[in-house]
């Protein structure tokens, strides 16, 4: 994997997400915003070597934590989405021998599963912040409201996974992921 091009791609996707997102953004529909960084993490989970896919997922999750809407009242929290991205990448890596890895259809179908894993992990970790033994700020809107909001974002992310997944798979050579796909089970 070419880390320089992967970093540039991640920054472009994060900037695109920030520029077109927001409450009155271009691609905000009924309050739901897609998450192109998660689509990129799924693509790396399907195509990159295992160790690089996991570390890339953690870095993309941290970037998502820092660039996304704040979930606490005062400051961004780095970690919940990063751990969710890592769990999603791990699940994709475990299922990877059974998948057709070089297909945009596989990427589009794996994205909703990744969204569910990221959402459940981040909501669980943010819900822990409201436990009496932690002294953190409360989650904006509560954990249930955040879960419903993120599920709407997940459906929209899955729809964006089709064209963006097709584009990312065409960029395999630039990203250094153009090698032979060796670990298929069929």
3-state DSSP assignment of residue 74: coil
Residue with tokens 């009155």: 24
DSSP state of 139: B
Q: For residue 20, how many other CB atoms are within 10 A of its CB? A: 14
Give the pLDDT means over successive 10-residue stretches in the chain (186 positions). Answer: 91 86 70 87 92 95 80 67 94 92 87 89 78 60 71 83 90 81 54
Q: What's the token pair of residue 148?
A: 């419903």
Task: Give the pLDDT score at 41.
Answer: 95
Task: Give the pLDDT score at 101.
Answer: 84
Cβ-proximal residues to 43 (8 Å cutoff; 6+ apart), any chain? 107, 165, 168, 169
Cβ-proximal residues to 139 (8 Å cutoff; 6+ apart), any chain? 71, 72, 126, 127, 129, 130, 146
Task: Give the pLDDT score at 46.
Answer: 92
Cβ-proximal residues to 28 (8 Å cutoff; 6+ apart), any chain? 21, 22
Task: Give the pLDDT score at 66.
Answer: 86
Helices within 21-141 (DSSP H only): 36-47, 50-67, 80-95, 104-128
pLDDT digits (tens, 9 = 90+) for 140-184: 556 677 777 777 888 888 888 889 989 998 898 889 886 665 555
| pTM across the whole model | 0.86
Task: Give the pLDDT score at 131.
Answer: 66
| Radius of gyration in angstroms for the set of CA atoms belonging to the chain, rounded to a whole number | 16
User: Among residues of the chain, what percentage have pLDDT more than 70?
Assistant: 80
3-state DSSP assignment of residue 73: coil
């Amino acid at each position: 994997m070419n880390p320089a091009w992967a970093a540039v791609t991640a920054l472009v996707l994060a900037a695109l997400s920030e520029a077109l997102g927001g409450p009155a953004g271009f691609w905000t529909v009924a309050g739901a915003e897609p998450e192109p960084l998660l689509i990129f993490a799924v693509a790396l989970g399907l195509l990159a070597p295992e160790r690089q896919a996991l570390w890339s997922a953690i870095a993309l999750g941290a970037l998502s934590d820092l660039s996304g809407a704040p979930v606490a009242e005062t400051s961004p929290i780095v970690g919940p989405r990063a751990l969710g991205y890592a769990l999603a990448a791990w699940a994709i890596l475990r299922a990877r021998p059974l998948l057709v890895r070089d297909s945009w259809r596989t990427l589009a179908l794996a994205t909703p599963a990744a969204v569910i894993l990221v959402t459940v992990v981040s909501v669980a970790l943010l819900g822990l912040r409201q436990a009496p033994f932690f002294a953190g700020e409360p989650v904006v809107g509560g954990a249930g409201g955040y879960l419903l909001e993120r599920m709407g974002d997940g459906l929209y992310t899955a729809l964006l996974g089709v064209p963006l997944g097709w584009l990312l798979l065409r960029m395999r050579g630039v990203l250094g992921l153009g090698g032979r796909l060796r670990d298929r089970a069929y």
